[in-house]
Amino acid sequence: GLIVLYSNGYMEGEDEERRYFAYMSLFVFSMLMLVMGGNLLLLLVGWGLVGLASYLLIGFYHDRSSAIDAAKKAFVINTIGDAAMALALFLAIAKVGSLDYSTVFDAAQSGELSDTVVTLLALGLLAGAVAKSAQIPLHTWLPDAMEGPTPVSALIHAATMVTAGVYLICRTHLIFQAAPDIQHLAAVLGLITLLVAGGIALVQWDIKRVIAYSTMSQIGYMFLGAGIGAYGFAMFHLVTHA
């Protein structure tokens, strides 16, 4: 709410201010759908739509080739994660017959699903989370995403969409608990990212790229927390960082 309010002043006098607010409204709708949907299907729809809104907003200044390149890069890398996540959900439909949270969680916890199925399910969800949250190795899009207007960087690429990966792991933690290897992988990726991205941030000269790498590093801490089972701490840091 505060960032959309700030956008009123920041975007005042822009030629295509209306287009900006249309995209921003699409993003807010998509993010709320991602968080508030009652099953994995609605989560995936919201997940894809926030990626679309991000693509549109990064490339808002479509007369700059750098902005268009950054938007395409973000879209492609996010789509890799979306595709992995969609495959995991197809697997859930095939094996469980439902995408309702409680039904899938019960199946994962009760031993109804084989270890291989639970591991693949968790791996698909983790791939989606890693791409969306710009963790290594799917991290290269976030520094470039700062080509969009500053309120976009503040809202989408620091506070909401990029932390959705942490939300996903915490929301579906029962699946990850049933596949401890994948949960530990999430912690390891978070650990590598927090060290590498924090180091890179120290030598950047563009303030928005510093913020991008800093954000990646902070999300690495959240992934580390979620990966070792400290979900409350991961979500607490998500809120304080936002």
pTM as predicted: 0.85
The backbone region for 135, taken as left when phi is positive above 0, alpha when psi lies in -120 to 50, beta otherwise, is beta
What are the tokens at 93? 């439909």
What does the pLDDT read at residue 29? 92
**Phi, psi for 100 (deg, rounded to 5):** -65, 135
Distance in angstroms between the alpha carbons of the first and the last residue of the chain = 13
What does the pLDDT read at residue 87? 92
Sequence-separated (6 or more) residues with CB below 8 Å from residue 181: 119
pLDDT of the chain, 242 residues: tens digit per residue: 888 888 888 888 778 788 888 888 899 899 999 889 888 889 999 998 998 888 888 888 888 888 888 888 888 888 888 899 999 999 888 888 888 888 888 888 887 778 888 888 889 999 999 988 878 887 788 777 777 787 888 888 777 888 888 999 998 888 888 888 888 888 999 899 989 988 888 888 888 888 888 888 899 999 899 888 888 898 999 888 88
What does the pLDDT read at residue 134? 79
What does the pLDDT read at residue 114? 80
Among the listed residues 49, 178, 65, 75, the one whose alpha carbon sits nearest the alpha carbon of residue 125: 178
What does the pLDDT read at residue 96? 83
What does the pLDDT read at residue 104? 85
DSSP string, 191-210: HHHHHHHHHHHTT--SHHHH
What are the tokens at 52? 């679309």
